[in-house]
Amino acid sequence: MPIKENLLHIKSQLPEPVTLVAVSKTKPVSDLMEAYQAGQRIFGENKIQEMTEKWEQMPKDIQWHMIGHVQSNKVKYMAEYVNLIHGVDSLKLLQEINKQAAKHNRVIDCLLQMYIAEEESKFGLDASELSEILNSAEFKAMQNIKVIGLMGMATFTDNQIQIKKEFQNLKSIFDTSQTPTTNNYQPSTLSMGMSGDYKLAIECGSTMVRIGSSIFGGR
């Protein structure tokens, strides 16, 4: 299926407030350009080096989202241009992002990744770790990051009831973590939902979906 048709089809199904991140990991720049020409401006990648190579080659009005697990020592390679980092799962990583953002006089938006799945392999925080970070003096002192919400990935399963339960859990953590807001904590974004489960995610309150294979084809 052509990328443009896939993209327009998915967009036609998204309610107005839901933002589409086109997940283009492993795909060549020519594929991304097809989506760009069809109007897409937000792309998600899961490897910093690959994202940086694409950023260098592509139009500069694109917003680049890092959706993968981030190693602290690689933050510097994307600090100049990244628009949103979805997978932040520690205070230490926030501190590194804050430090690298400061070098470029930027404030980098971040989402804190929550662990909602029943899979050992997935990353993320639990509710108490989240509140520990948000309430720490270190976090409150950071001036070059802004946490604009939460991100999570459901278990890889066909069991819709389980996926729904996990999304509802994330939504309830999101709702209960709305206050108090500070300069660097303004939660408005809930990033949940991929090709296989984005409709369910939207029903459960997602405001940002990350869709790859349904746009670009299998990987």
Ligand X SMILES: *Cc1c(COP(=O)(O)O)cnc(C)c1O
* DSSP per-residue string spanning 18-41: PEEEEE-TT--HHHHHHHHHTT--
The answer to whether residue 110 forms part of the interface with ligand X (CB under 6 A) is no
Contact 130, 94 (CB under 8 A): no
Binding string, 146-175, against ligand X, x = CB under 6 A?
Answer: -------x----------------------
Supply the minimum distance, in Å, between the C-beta of residue 165 and ligand X.
19
185, two tokens: 């904590």
| Sign, CA torsion 188/194/195/196 | negative
The answer to whether residue 84 forms part of the interface with ligand X (CB under 6 A) is no
| Sign, CA torsion 45/50/56/57 | negative
CB nearer ligand X, residue 171 or residue 210: 210
Whole-angstrom distance, CA of residue 72 vs CA of residue 79? 11
**Residue ranges in 195-214 that form contacts with ligand X under rule CB under 6 A:** 195-196, 210-214
The answer to whether residue 67 forms part of the interface with ligand X (CB under 6 A) is yes
CB nearer ligand X, residue 67 or residue 79: 67
Whole-angstrom distance, CA of residue 140 vs CA of residue 104? 20
The answer to whether residue 117 forms part of the interface with ligand X (CB under 6 A) is no
* DSSP per-residue string spanning 63-86: EEEE-S---GGGGGGTTTT--EEE
Supply the minimum distance, in Å, between the C-beta of residue 134 and ligand X.
22
Among 3, 20, 23, 208, binds ligand X (CB under 6 A): 23
The answer to whether residue 66 forms part of the interface with ligand X (CB under 6 A) is no
Whole-angstrom distance, CA of residue 21 vs CA of residue 24? 9
Among 117, 133, 194, 201, binds ligand X (CB under 6 A): 194
Supply the minimum distance, in Å, between the C-beta of residue 55 and ligand X.
18
| Coil, helix or strand at residue 219 | coil
Number of residues in contact with ligand X, rule: CB under 6 A?
A: 14
Among 6, 24, 40, 46, binds ligand X (CB under 6 A): 46
Which residues of this chain interact with ligand X, rule CB under 6 A?
23, 25, 46, 67-68, 153, 194-196, 210-214
